[in-house]
Amino acid sequence: MSDNYLTRIKKDLKKISSKNELMNIKSKYLGKKGEVTLLTNSLKDLSIKDRKTEGAKINKTKKQIESLLEDKLDEIQNKLISNKLDEERIDVTLPSRGTSFGSVHPISQVLQEVIKIFTDFGFEITEGPEIETDYYNFESLNIPKDHPARDMQDTFYLEDNKLLRTHTSPMQIRIMENNKPPIKIISPGKVYRCDSDVTHTPMFHQVEGLLVDELVTFGNLKGILMEFCSRFFGKDTKIRFRPSYFPFTEPSAELDIEWIDKAGDKTWMEVLGCGMVNPKVFEFVGYDSNELSGLAFGMGIERLAMIKFGITDIRYFYQNDLKFLSQFQ
């Protein structure tokens, strides 16, 4: 009996490849109505002697069938795992997708370059608060009460006579209040104005410079800024100084560079404002304008970046467009 059942079940097991099929075969032989189970139930009709002999044979056959079923289950599971691994196999010989690397933002690139140039000239870096008082932002810089810069539409006013600084010039006053000349500083940082279009944003970056000592002249100012333009824009860059007006400098000027626009035409492009420190500013910090003189200048980093990289809309810098930013890696 044992050999007959084992031969039949081995043939059945060779024909299957799934767990469901295996369960059907198990049910066929070992289920409640399975062939081996029926044989076990028929033992009650035998004599005690034959029942003992046939029962031992049936139990041996049952264990052999269970062993064959377990082996087949292991075979099916191993096959499933193997197939799954084949499906998920990675071809290590294929070329990789490459690695994307970040880069320094173009505004940060230009800011770092400007700072590097002026520190090479011997200027020290000073930084101060972005929330300022009316005194440091306007009054001490000789900006009168009726000046347009004080208007609500141009300045972000806060509570308690505080505001978001509109330039980094307040640091000039803070430094002069607490230090004796000579002073040679630049003040890089964020500034804020109520303005937004293709060439202005409510937040932007400035670098302002101050040099105070005896016998400082407009010639010193021109020399410093001409060398800056030569390093930043190129040695062959043509520049000019135009008379202008700023409350905190007298005389005042704006510096232009000759530039070639997209149409290929030469044009003059304003780059920065500058001038000699107004004696009235010295009065606020207790400096004697008969003994001391000073030069000052200020430039917008976004404007320099637009000129340097040929960008027509300042808002591109702050849209987090990876296609745009990837140009500056």
Query: Do 125 and 238 reside in the same domain of the chain?
Result: yes
State which of 59, 87, 115 marks the end of a domain: 87
Query: How many distinct structural domains can be found in the chain?
Result: 2
Count of beta carbons in the 10 Å neighbourhood of residue 255: 23
pLDDT tens string for the chain (329 positions)? 556 777 888 888 888 888 888 888 888 877 887 777 777 777 777 777 777 777 777 788 788 888 888 888 888 888 888 888 888 877 778 887 777 777 889 999 999 999 999 999 999 999 999 999 999 999 999 987 777 766 655 889 999 889 999 999 999 999 999 999 999 999 999 999 988 777 788 899 999 999 999 999 999 999 999 999 999 999 999 999 999 999 999 999 999 999 877 777 888 989 999 999 999 999 999 999 999 999 999 999 999 999 888 888 888 888 888 888 888 87
Q: Tokens representing 230?
A: 């030569």
Angle at 64 between CA 61 and CA 70, to 5 degrees: 140
Q: Tokens representing 171?
A: 């640091």
Range of the domain at 64: 2-87
Residue 22 in any domain: the answer is: yes
For 179-210, how does the pLDDT look when each residue is reduced to its tens digit (9 = 90+)? Answer: 999 999 999 999 999 887 777 888 999 999 99
State which of 36, 56, 87 marks the end of a domain: 87
Burial class, 159, CB count within 10 angstroms (exposed 0-12 / middle 13-18 / buried 19+): exposed
**What would the DSSP string read from start to end of 157-184?**
B-STTEEE-SSSTHHHHHHHHH-PSPEE
Q: What's the chain's length in residues?
A: 329
Residue 315 in any domain: the answer is: yes
Residue 42 in any domain: the answer is: yes
Q: Tokens representing 306?
A: 């637009």
Predicted structure pTM score: 0.69
Count of beta carbons in the 10 Å neighbourhood of residue 51: 14
Residue 80 in any domain: the answer is: yes
What secondary structure letter does DSSP report for 297?
Answer: E
Residue 97 in any domain: the answer is: no
